[in-house]
């Protein structure tokens, strides 16, 4: 009945069936169509195995089943007319009156629906949760799609490459190993794409471009690189054993030591911020804001901060997804004078916009506020930025962004991810943008789009997918950002005013289904690759890049001006040196530690890392061993 689920705009998907039907059949099918509406409406979506937001809507000539999908603001619609028409063809030979068939249909469907509803309740798998003002979060996982993501590259390799290179890339009689050493013709994604495409006929390897599509070749190449580097998409490092190194860690310039500052943090923390008195602010997505003393004592949650919700559900990789989270925290550059602390969070609401009313689900969106902490309470809150309610969406806050950065002049930047995929290239939408404000929320008159009719006046850059880190380099007066790509294509970007960073039109990664990132023609804009600001650093395969700092301190003077970047899937701390817009050095400082969600610089130049883990989050301190400069 549902086919592929694709909508065909401006067309009647049942038109061909109506043209084929005789007038008498057509009238009878319309009667049965109405009976479907009565029966299915009385059964409810639960008994039908449909999303809870599904509803039956009578329309002209046909009844339509309507429900929303995650990430879509427009509901999906499926006509019931073809089912009614086919059913009438089957029963017509019985010469039964159409009205009698309709009555029987209603009775049978309602009875089966009631039984299904009772069974579901008895199994305990479909209990109705109590309504709250902000609704209840629900996520419908695409298990089939997730399986494809995890297995597509592996299947291509097994079907086409394993006979020569071994099932585990260990090599075989016909081909060399692809693991454990350098590859003669290069091991980057682009180099592997070239090798697979062109082949090596003299060595017996065919040109696979004759039998594989470009998308398949890139999927295969990315999978090989992921496997070689231990960065498979399915490895999230969220439940792996977390053991801090006991000895020193040698890097090119320093020997490092790692000390535990505190444990007992929620498994999903998001941000650290250092205060002038040595205390550390830490945000927990589903729990709130806490303080850590210089000695490592963790406070109770600060009272009165924006409301957050802990009804998330487990997503791919064992990491929770949800709506209504606390994200970044940042003290004002003149905190000692004014005491202001800025919070980015996703405000959650129910029935507050059309998307929520249609789907019956809560929605959320990034919001920026500031306040002060007095006697363990959040006070004096002021709203710096709240986007329009119509921009709130039901997409998980995992892709919300919500990072904060200040420049020395007190301007504040905040990132917003692709919680609504259709607005990223739309300058009127807040999604997929870096926004810039004065510290009190006013929009600066020198923002790049203030004079563009209909554009968001606060937008600084656009075309962003999932921003993860945001930092202003006071020395060079440049704004830097990190963001996740799809399958590959993690980025480090120099964020220049008014520039387009490409998503969802272009990416150096590929879509999870193996197709090229090209915007699918859905975004109503003509943009060439030359119009897109390219990343300064492309990380393919994806390390799941996270937050970072531009290092300025004394503990690691040799790294001044370098980007020290955390990663989630790779669980590494990475040093990047960029000169004249080019990456000139990349060094893994700490390898396979844990999911590093945030990085901060301490008062003496030491580093603080915020680690997330299923057993509980941790904060660790990284410092140089005395006189260890190599």
DSSP code per residue over 104-159 = HHHHHHHHHHHHHHHHHHHHTSSPPPPP-TT--------HHHHHHHHHHHHHHHHH
Lowest-confidence segment of 258-262, 332-336, 506-510, 556-560 by average pLDDT: 506-510
Whether omega before 156 lies within 30 degrees of 0, making that bond cis, reads no
The answer to whether the beta carbons of residues 536 and 581 sit under 8 Å apart is yes
Residue 114 confidence (pLDDT) above 90: no
Mean pLDDT score, 167-196: 92
pLDDT digits (tens, 9 = 90+) for 445-481: 999 999 999 999 999 999 999 999 999 999 999 999 9
Q: Which pLDDT does position 441 carry in this prediction? A: 99
d(CA 455, CA 56): 37
Residue 345 confidence (pLDDT) above 60: yes
Sorted by where each begins, the domain ranges of the chain are 15-123, 143-229, 249-624
CA nearest 189: which of 223, 235, 159, 154? 223
Greatest CA separation found in the chain?
A: 97
Q: Which CATH number fits domain 249-624: 2.120.10.30, 2.10.77.10, 1.10.3720.10, 2.60.120.590?
A: 2.120.10.30
pLDDT digits (tens, 9 = 90+) for 220-264: 999 999 899 888 777 788 988 999 999 999 999 999 999 999 999
**3 state DSSP class of 515:** coil
Whether pTM > 0.95 for this model: the answer is: no
d(CA 80, CA 515): 32
The answer to whether the beta carbons of residues 434 and 470 sit under 8 Å apart is yes
pLDDT digits (tens, 9 = 90+) for 139-161: 554 544 555 555 788 899 999 99
Chain mean pLDDT for the chain: 82
Residue 105 confidence (pLDDT) above 60: no
Q: Which CATH number fits domain 143-229: 1.20.1740.10, 3.40.50.300, 3.40.50.170, 1.10.760.10?
A: 1.10.760.10
d(CA 443, CA 435): 9
**CB-based burial, 357-388: b 16+ in 10 Å, e otherwise:** ebbbbbbbbbbbbbbebeeeebeeeeebbebe
Q: Which pLDDT does position 121 carry in this prediction? A: 36
pLDDT digits (tens, 9 = 90+) for 23-40: 444 445 445 555 555 455
Q: Are strands 313-314 and 320-321 parallel, antiparallel or unpaired?
A: antiparallel
């Amino acid at each position: 009945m549902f086919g592929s689920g694709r909508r065909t705009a401006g067309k009647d998907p049942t038109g061909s069936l109506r043209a084929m039907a005789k007038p008498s059949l057509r009238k009878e099918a319309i009667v049965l169509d109405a009976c479907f509406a009565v029966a299915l409406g009385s059964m409810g979506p639960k008994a039908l195995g449909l999303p809870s937001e599904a509803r039956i809507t009578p329309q002209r000539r046909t009844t339509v089943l309507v429900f929303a999908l995650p990430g879509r603001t427009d509901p999906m619609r499926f006509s019931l007319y073809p089912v009614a028409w086919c059913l009438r063809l089957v029963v017509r030979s019985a010469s039964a009156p159409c009205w009698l068939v309709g009555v029987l249909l209603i009775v049978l469907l309602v009875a089966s629906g009631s039984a299904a509803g009772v069974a579901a309740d008895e199994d305990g798998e479909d209990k109705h949760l109590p309504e709250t003002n902000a609704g209840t979060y629900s996520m419908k996982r695409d298990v089939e799609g997730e399986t494809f993501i995890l297995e597509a590259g592996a299947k291509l390799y097994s079907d086409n490459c394993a006979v020569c290179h071994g099932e585990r890339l260990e090599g075989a009689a016909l081909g060399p190993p692809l693991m454990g050493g350098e590859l003669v013709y290069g091991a980057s994604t682009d180099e592997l794409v070239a090798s697979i495409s062109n082949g090596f006929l003299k060595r017996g390897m065919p040109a696979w471009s004759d039998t594989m599509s470009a998308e398949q070749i890139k999927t295969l190449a990315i999978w090989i690189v992921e496997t070689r580097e231990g960065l498979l998409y399915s490895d999230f490092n969220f439940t792996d054993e977390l053991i801090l190194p006991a000895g020193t860690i040698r890097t090119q310039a320093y020997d490092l030591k790692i000390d535990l500052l505190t444990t007992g943090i929620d498994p999903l923390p998001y941000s650290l911020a250092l205060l002038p008195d040595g205390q550390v602010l830490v945000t927990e997505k589903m729990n709130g804001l806490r303080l850590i003393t210089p000695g490592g004592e963790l406070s109770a949650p600060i009272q009165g901060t924006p409301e957050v919700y802990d009804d998330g559900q487990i997503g791919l990789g064992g990491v929770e997804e949800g709506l209504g989270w606390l994200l970044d925290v940042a003290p004002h550059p003149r905190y000692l004078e004014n005491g202001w602390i800025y919070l980015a969070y996703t405000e959650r609401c129910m029935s507050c916009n059309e998307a929520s009313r249609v789907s019956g689900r809560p929605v959320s969106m990034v919001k920026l506020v500031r306040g002060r902490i007095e006697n363990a309470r959040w006070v004096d809150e002021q709203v710096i930025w709240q986007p329009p309610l119509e921009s709130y969406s039901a997409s998980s806050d995992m892709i919300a962004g919500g990072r904060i950065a200040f420049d020395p002049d007190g301007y504040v930047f905040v990132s917003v991810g692709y919680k609504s995929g259709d607005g990223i290239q739309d300058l009127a939408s807040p999604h997929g943008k870096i926004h810039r404000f004065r510290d009190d929320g006013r929009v600066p008159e020198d923002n790049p789009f203030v004079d563009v009719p209909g554009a968001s006046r606060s937008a600084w850059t656009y075309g962003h997918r999932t921003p993860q880190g945001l930092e202003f380099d006071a020395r060079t007066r440049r704004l830097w950002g990190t963001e996740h790509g799809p399958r590959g294509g993690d980025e480090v970007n120099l964020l220049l005013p008014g520039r387009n960073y490409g998503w969802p039109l272009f990416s150096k990664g590929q879509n999870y289904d193996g197709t090229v990132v090209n915007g699918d023609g859905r975004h109503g804009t003509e943009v060439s690759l030359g119009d897109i600001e390219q990343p300064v650093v492309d990380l393919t395969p994806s390390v799941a890049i996270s937050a970072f700092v531009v290092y300025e301190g004394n503990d690691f003077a040799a790294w001044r001006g370098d980007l020290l970047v955390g990663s989630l899937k790779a669980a590494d701390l990475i040093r990047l040196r960029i000169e004249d817009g080019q990456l000139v050095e990349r060094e893994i400082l700490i390898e396979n530690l844990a999911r590093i969600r945030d990085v901060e610089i301490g008062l003496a130049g030491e580093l603080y890392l915020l680690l997330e883990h299923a057993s509980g989050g941790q904060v660790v301190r990284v410092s140089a061993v005395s006189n260890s400069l190599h």
